[in-house]
């Protein structure tokens, strides 16, 4: 499952935990995610001059407004 979310809809990367940056937890609600099971890939962000690469993922509830199961 993968959707693209505009940059300005994501939380500021410097406010996120290590788990959120590597895609192990939802970037909005910090719910732990199980890759390939209940995560939604929001598209890897490449490293910039200001920040390292990070891998935002969200839970289904935050991405779709509901649990999809
Ligand atoms: Zn969430």
pLDDT value at residue 68: 55
**C-alpha closest to that of 40 among 12, 10, 14, 18:** 10
**Residue 1 located in a structural domain:** no
**Residue 23 located in a structural domain:** yes
pLDDT value at residue 54: 94
Using a CB cutoff of 5 Å, list residues around ligand 1, an ion. Answer: 26, 28-29, 31, 59, 62
**Residue 60 located in a structural domain:** yes
**Residue 2 located in a structural domain:** no
CA dihedral 55, 58, 64, 66 (to 10 degrees): 170
**Residue 11 located in a structural domain:** yes
**Residue 18 located in a structural domain:** yes
Reply yes or no on whether the pLDDT at 66 is more than 70: no
Cα of 44 from ligand 1 centre, angstroms: 17
What pLDDT, in 10s, does the model give residues 12-51?
A: 988 999 999 999 999 999 999 998 888 999 999 999 897 7
**Residue 69 located in a structural domain:** no
- Average the pLDDT over 40-69 and give the result: 86
Cα of 48 from ligand 1 centre, angstroms: 25
**Number of structural domains the chain divides into:** 1
Cα of 50 from ligand 1 centre, angstroms: 26
What range does the domain containing 45 cover? 7-64
- DSSP one-letter string for the chain: -B----GGGSPPGGGS-HHHHTTSB-TTT--B--TTTTEEE--PBPP-SSS--B--EEEHHHHHSS---
């Amino acid at each position: 499952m993968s959707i693209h979310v505009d940059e300005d809809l994501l939380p500021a990367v410097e406010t996120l935990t290590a788990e959120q940056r590597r895609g192990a937890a939802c970037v909005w609600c910090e719910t732990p995610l199980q890759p390939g099971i209940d995560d939604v890939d929001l598209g890897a962000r490449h490293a910039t001059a200001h920040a390292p690469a990070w891998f935002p993922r969200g839970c289904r509830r935050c991405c779709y407004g509901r649990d999809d199961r």
